[in-house]
Amino acid sequence: MHIPDNYLSPVTCGVMLTAMAPIWTVSILKVKAQIKTKKETVPLIGVAAALAFLIMMFNLPIPGGTTAHAVGGTLLAVLLGPWAACLALSLTLLLQALLFGDGGVLAFGANAFNMAVIMPFVGYACYQIGRRLHHEKIGLAVGAYMGINLAALMAGVELGLQPLLFHSANGAPLYCPYGLQVTIPAMLAAHLLVAGWVEALFSVLVYQFIKKAAPSTLYQAPSASTSFKIFYGLLLGLIVLSPLGLLASGTAWGEWNTRELSQRLQAAAPTGMTHGVHFNALFSDYAIHGLSLPLGYILSAATAVLIFTLLIRVVQHDR
């Protein structure tokens, strides 16, 4: 679901980034107000960002030779509240793009809208309905499933609109070459059939674990003294297990580089893609030069957790 650079036109990227600006602004204001009553919100944002990063490293095989992954957007909204979850997921997506080349730098606004807005807010709304009906776990599961699939639908729409809106004089697509009739079914199939169910199951299991081990950290719980040892244990376990994400071979649908896309098309990639921005991330695809892929995966996961921890320490110190 991470849209790479050059699949969306610069105009589309600019529109999506502009749309995210007021959302991020409101998120910051909402979180500042939340911190006054729940001081643990700041460190929890760092933990949640790291948790989402690790969840997304576990790729799932999809029929047809592609992959997908869970995100944890609804889980983060239940843990932090939807506005703080939006900030945490945005931080995760930004780090993925800048340091690991997962998702485009120019496409950051679109990816943030899909995964840091649609997922947590839709998921949290479903959770709240379930909670009012005294079936919060069902609400959480439905919210997680609905959130990730609606985010996938939006990504499919963004990609599928490109040939309609941006093409050459002779009608050749300049960016994503697939229309809505291809992108929407392709994006939804992977998430309706596989990723959505994993998202729901993982969200419920982790929610149950947190509710028993650290219930005061949940957004709806009264503020209380919080121990973060349980969260760091969870993150450490996911870091160690992260190479399991390598078992699923193949590139996620719509995340191919220009060479892979040309092979699929059996023709040259659209000119807007070949002449677009090509940002080279330091640890592209979570690989570290000179190390085996599993070890590079583990070190990439550990590096991300360390960066989020240090970032939150800096924010807490400034406050």
Q: Does the model's pTM come out above 0.75?
A: yes
pLDDT at 24: 98
Query: What would the pLDDT profile of 279-288 be if each residue is shown by its tens digit?
Result: 999 999 899 8
Cα 244 to Cα 251: distance, rounded to the nearest angstrom: 15
Cα 155 to Cα 184: distance, rounded to the nearest angstrom: 8
Asked whether the beta carbons of 38 and 221 are under 8 A apart, the reply is: no
**Per-domain residue ranges of the chain:** 10-318
Cα 191 to Cα 186: distance, rounded to the nearest angstrom: 9
Cα dihedral sign, 132-138-141-143: negative
Cα 253 to Cα 168: distance, rounded to the nearest angstrom: 24
Give me the CATH topology for the region 10-318: Arp2/3 complex 21 kDa subunit ARPC3 (1.10.1760)
Asked whether the beta carbons of 67 and 73 are under 8 A apart, the reply is: no
Identity of the residue numbered 185 = P
- Distance of alpha carbon 93 from the chain centroid: 6
The number of residues in the chain equals 319
Q: What is the mean pLDDT of residues 10-21?
A: 98
**Hey, what are 54's tokens?**
């690790």
The DSSP element (H or E) to which 145 belongs, if any, is helix 136-160
Is residue 319 pLDDT above 70, yes or no?
Answer: no
Query: What would the pLDDT profile of 55-102 be if each residue is shown by its tens digit?
Result: 999 999 998 788 999 999 999 999 999 999 999 999 999 999 999 999
Asked whether the beta carbons of 48 and 76 are under 8 A apart, the reply is: yes
E strand map for the chain: 59-62, 66-69
**Segment among 22-36, 72-86, 208-222, 258-272 with least mean pLDDT:** 208-222
Q: Is 45 exposed, middle or buried (0-12, 13-18, 19+ CB in 10 A)?
A: buried
Query: Going by C-beta distance under 8 Å and a sequence separation of 6 or more, which residues neighbour residue 260?
Result: 251
